[in-house]
């Protein structure tokens, strides 16, 4: 009887060991069940990351023509823009709110947000107080990355709602973003605009802008 119990005990231990071994080696055998090859390299798109596009005068001109087409009586009700072109267009409107030292400005769409990044001098930005303890480990010149969405506050006024900020590789806590945006903005915040937003003037016929994949779709305001 005791020999049987010992055999059952050994069998139980072996079963436990087999389960543990299967769990530890799951990266090897699970792809075989789905037909995937775990040794296959990443796709070029995944390895390369988002496609950052430079802000340029040419991009701003293309975006302006597209946006103006919505204002025509027989024009489309929506149109698509690349991240670089839209950022180029809005950069003109936001240029007075950005640090004077900003250069190497680029834009990309990531996870249904528009991201804009630029290299800035913290001396010109005057954001050290808003960064709190992060300011002590940040360089004098860093890459500032802001991600967010667009929202129309009222006809003729929109805002870039900043939801994600990084200074170099350091993420800024979301609760600190409104304070950081106050460092960026110049002048009085218009009524209805968010503390986390960068407001700017737009044509009254522009109704909305949404990020989807690699494109940003802009919509004509509904007729009243």
What does pLDDT average to in each consecutive run of 10 residues of the chain (224 residues)? Answer: 40 38 43 43 45 87 92 92 86 69 83 87 59 58 88 91 89 88 80 91 90 85 78
Question: pLDDT of 63-95, one tens digit each?
Answer: 999 999 999 988 999 999 988 888 888 777 776
- What's this model's pTM, rounded to 2 decimal places? 0.69
Distances (CA, A) of 85 to 60, 73, 114: 6, 24, 12
Helix, strand, or coil here: 36?
coil
The total of other beta-carbon atoms located within 10 Å of residue 186's CB is 7
The rounded distance, in Å, linking the Cα atoms of 174 and 160 is 15
Tokens (6 digits) for 6: 């010992």
């Amino acid at each position: 009887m005791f020999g049987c119990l010992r055999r059952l005990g050994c069998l139980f231990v072996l079963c436990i060991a087999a389960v543990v071994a299967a769990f530890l080696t799951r990266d090897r055998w699970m792809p075989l069940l789905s037909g995937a090859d775990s040794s296959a390299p990443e796709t070029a798109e995944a390895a390369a990351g988002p496609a950052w596009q430079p802000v340029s005068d040419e991009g701003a001109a293309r975006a302006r023509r597209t946006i103006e087409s919505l204002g025509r009586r027989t024009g489309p009700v929506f149109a698509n823009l690349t991240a670089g072109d839209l950022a180029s267009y809005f950069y003109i409107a936001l240029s007075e709110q950005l640090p004077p030292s900003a250069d190497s400005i680029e834009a990309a769409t990531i996870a249904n947000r528009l991201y804009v990044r630029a290299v800035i001098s913290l001396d010109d930005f005057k954001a050290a107080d808003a960064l709190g303890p992060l300011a002590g480990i940040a360089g004098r010149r860093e890459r500032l990355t802001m991600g967010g969405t667009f929202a129309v506050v009222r006809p003729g006024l929109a805002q870039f709602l900043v939801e994600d900020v990084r200074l170099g590789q350091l993420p800024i806590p979301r609760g600190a973003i409104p304070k950081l945006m106050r460092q960026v903005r110049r002048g009085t915040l218009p009524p209805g605009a968010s503390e986390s937003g960068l407001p700017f003037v737009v044509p009254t016929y522009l109704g909305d802008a949404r990020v989807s994949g690699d494109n940003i779709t802009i919509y004509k305001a509904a007729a009243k």
